Structure formats: structure tokens, C-alpha cells
Chain A
Amino acid sequence: MLETQSESLFAKLGGSAAVDAAVDKFYRRVLADDRVNRFFEGVDMDKQATKQKAFLTMAFGGPNNYTGLDMKKGHEHLLKMGMDDTHFDAIVENLGATLKDMGVADELIAQVAATAETTREAVMGRI
């Protein structure tokens, strides 16, 4: 289990303060990205932001209890809208760009991307 490693990633990034600092920047990027913003049309922005915060907390290696099933259920409606792997890639790309803007080291960005990657199969409904 990568428990100690992931905890240290969360600490290295700056913990929940880093999540708070990143969430608006990340969400703003996603909304401005024409490849994926149609999936966010008409959603309640406040509710969406708290979901983004939960996702970032997880990707940063912070505390979370998401199961693959939660991830699967939460994205089923997007599959119906035509979501595929390229959209998942775009989100991870936006996440990386956000962290780069915040001055996070490439090596840590890679670790965050790898953590986000662990949710791909569930998000895509393939589990």
C-alpha cells in the first residue's frame, strides 16, 4: 500500500490549503476548455466546486474514502453525453497546468497525475 507515500505527497503539496488554493484555478481552466466544458453546462457551480475540491483532495493524496463504485456512479450520466478517454486526458492536463501555474515541481505533478489516473477505469465505467 502506498499510504505513507501518498500522505507525504499531500503534505509536500501543502495539504488542504493547497487544495483550497487550487480549486478555483482548476475549475476556471476546465470551464474555459472547449474540449470538456459542455459536460459542466447548467450544473450548480457551488456544488460542482465542492466536488472538484473532493477530487483534488484525492488526487493530491489527501484523505478520501471514494470507492470505485462512487466514481462510476458519479460519471455514468457523462458517458451518456459522450465522454471518453480523451476527455479524461483533458481534465488531467488541466490539473497539471493548474499546478504548474502554482509553481509545483514537475515530479510532484507527475505523482498527482498518477493518482488521478487510478480513477480512470471507474470513471469510464469499465470496472
Chain B
Amino acid sequence: MLLLAGETLDVLPGETVLDCLVRHQVEVKSGCKAGACQSCLVRTNNVPPAKSQKGLRQDLIDRGYFMSCQCSADELAEIELADTEVFPSYEANLIQVDQLAPNIFRYWLSPESPIPFRLGQFVKLKYHAVERCYSIAEERDGMLGFHVRLIEDGAMSLLLRHAKQGGSFTITGPLGNCSYQAKSKEQPLLLVGSSTGLAPLYGILKDALCAGHSGPIALYHGAADATGIYLQSELLQLADNHPNFSYVPCTDVEQDEFRTGSPVTISLSDLPDLTGYQVYICGNPAMSRAMQKKAFLAGANLADLFMDPFEAQ
């Protein structure tokens, strides 16, 4: 017997979870049926066999995803389809708002109960029926810090502009795999972000330094102009205290104290060979995808590329 969304599916001897779903006319994709292509992922709260999770991204493994072609239907009690995953939600209150730049603010939220998360992962924040995704950039005394760029006419921006201390939010998550996960303390790290794409990178950087990461860490933060470069003094301070950390702010328009150009172009001209590197990328989707491809072509392995694209809305 296999339980799927409250329905009981009968199981034939020796059939895989995939066979069983197909036989019951449940729509599920498949490809190689040999545990290579990962087309047939489904989720379980039971413990799937190791071979059914071989080669999957760690965050998917942690969340119970497995290849349905590589698991006997009689090995599990319940499953759910891949696109129906429900993440836990937590109530949280707004404690404090700090201005970091003309249009960039840090919102400190205190959740009612502790949330298991890694800095750099993102959550869905719901406030007055509007929901947007934000990365967990910082943590302090049980509070979570989010970097938000308030944009003209953004539905969430309009609400947040007037958010008061004690305001009540719902946090859902965490999601994503953009968090510090170096294979060794010596592995070189490259962090590339645009605008508030700095948020997860700042969290990853803090985690890396906290863990005593000794390999080189280079952070390239890009913005349209100087008004988008934020947390500069904190980052300069960190670079002073950690000789293995270098911080390179870049702006599209020419400004005296910053490198001119995109963080993608500048980081790759400084570091043309990324063999062995782990690269973390966050920012607008076009920038993120371009960086992912260029970093791969520059020698970084796909498993060492972590990307968290987001749209300002």
C-alpha cells in the first residue's frame, strides 16, 4: 500500500514507485528509468533508499526527494508529487528597521518559534496578504535580518514603507540551496551579486568566516550607482580583519571609489580560471544565468555553482 495525497494505491510485487504511479494513471514525468536523468522526482516523509537519492542536490535530499524509478513501491508508506510540497509557516513580528542606503532597508523580524535555516536561504514573507521572497541575510539574537530595496509602486514596497514595529508577518520556508557549503575550509569561494542580491552572499560570507574558512573568498557586489552599494563599511571592516577575504564593489556608472562595470565581467577578468572554485550567484535572472554559464565555462563544476535569481517586483 502506498499513500498519495490521501489516496491509497495498491502495490504489485517488485514494481517501482514510478511503475505504481504510472499504473494508477498518476501524471509523473520519467526519462531514463535508470537513476540518471532525475526526471521522475517525487517526495516522501519516510526514508527513501540511498540509491534513489544518488546525485541529487543536497537540499532536495534533505527535503525527502528521490527518484521514483529507483525505489520499490513496497519500501515506503507515503509519497507526494514534486510540485505539491508544503513548507512550514511561522508567525513573526517586526522588531526594527534600519536604513542601509537611500532605498535599501534592513527589516529585523522575530519569529514566534525558532526556524531551522541556513544563512543565504530564502523565505516567503507575507504581510497584509502580499507575499514576496527574501533571503535571510543576517541573524541576531533570534531575529532574522532581510535586505529590501523599496521600489516605486511595488505592492510589497508600498506596504513595507509604512510597516510599524510589532507589525505581524508570516514566514514560510526556508527554501533554496544558496548557503555556505564549501567542500573544505581551503576551497576558494567567489560570491557575485547585484543590488540586494548581496543579501544571501552576506549571510554566506558571515557563515564562512564564522566556520574559519581559510581559502580565498572574493565578493563582487554590483549596483547601478553608488546609492546601491550598501554595508560597505561592514564589508571593508571584514576585509581588514580577514586577509583571505576581498571585497570589490562595482557600479555601472563611473564613480571614483568603485570599479566600473558589471560584477560578472569584473570578477571574471580578475579570476579567469575558476577550476576548483565554489561560486555563489544572486541577483536579477539575466545576470545570474550569464554568470552561471561563464563560471562553468571558466572551469567551475556545476555542483559548485549555487544560484539564487530574483526579480524585483
Interface residues of A (CB under 8 A from B): 19-20, 24, 27-28, 31-32, 42, 45-47, 49-51, 53-54, 57-58, 62-66, 70, 74
A36 to B57, CA, bound (A): 28
A32 to B57, CA, bound (A): 25
Cross-chain contact A57 with B31 (CB below 8 angstroms): no
Judged by DSSP, the binding face of A is helix
A63 to B33, CA, bound (A): 9
CB interface residues, B 78-128, toward A, < 8 Å: none
**B301 close to A (CB within 8 Å):** yes
Q: How many A-B residue pairs have CB under 8 A?
A: 59
Closest to A20 in B: B55
A27 to B302, CA, bound (A): 10
Within the complex, which residue of A32, A42, A46, A50 is in contact with B36, where a contact is CB–CB below 8 Å?
Answer: A50
Known pairs A31-B293, A53-B55; A46 contacts B302 (CB<8 A): yes
Known pairs A50-B37, A51-B37; A64 contacts B32 (CB<8 A): yes
Cross-chain contact A66 with B31 (CB below 8 angstroms): yes
Known pairs A24-B301, A53-B55; A64 contacts B33 (CB<8 A): yes
B253 to chain A, nearest CB (A): 29
Interface residues of B (CB under 8 A from A): 31-39, 55, 57, 289, 292-293, 296-297, 301-303, 305
Cross-chain contact A32 with B297 (CB below 8 angstroms): yes
User: Can you name 13 A-B residue pairings with CB atoms under 8 Å?
Assistant: A31-B296, A45-B296, A45-B302, A47-B38, A49-B302, A50-B39, A53-B37, A54-B34, A54-B36, A57-B36, A63-B36, A64-B34, A74-B31
Cross-chain contact A63 with B38 (CB below 8 angstroms): no
A64 to B34, CA, bound (A): 5
> Residues of B contacting A66 with CB < 8 Å?
31-32
> Residues of A contacting B33 with CB < 8 Å?
64-65
> Residues of B contacting A20 with CB < 8 Å?
55
A45 to B291, CA, bound (A): 12
Known pairs A28-B296, A28-B297, A31-B297; A54 contacts B302 (CB<8 A): no
Closest to A42 in B: B289
> Residues of A contacting B305 with CB < 8 Å?
45
Cross-chain contact A58 with B297 (CB below 8 angstroms): no
> Residues of A contacting B293 with CB < 8 Å?
31, 45
A99 to B292, CA, bound (A): 24
Known: A46-B57, A66-B32. 13 other contacts (CB 8 A): A24-B296, A31-B296, A31-B297, A32-B297, A42-B289, A45-B302, A50-B37, A51-B31, A53-B37, A54-B34, A64-B33, A65-B32, A70-B31
Known pairs A46-B302, A64-B32, A70-B31; A54 contacts B296 (CB<8 A): no
Closest to A41 in B: B293
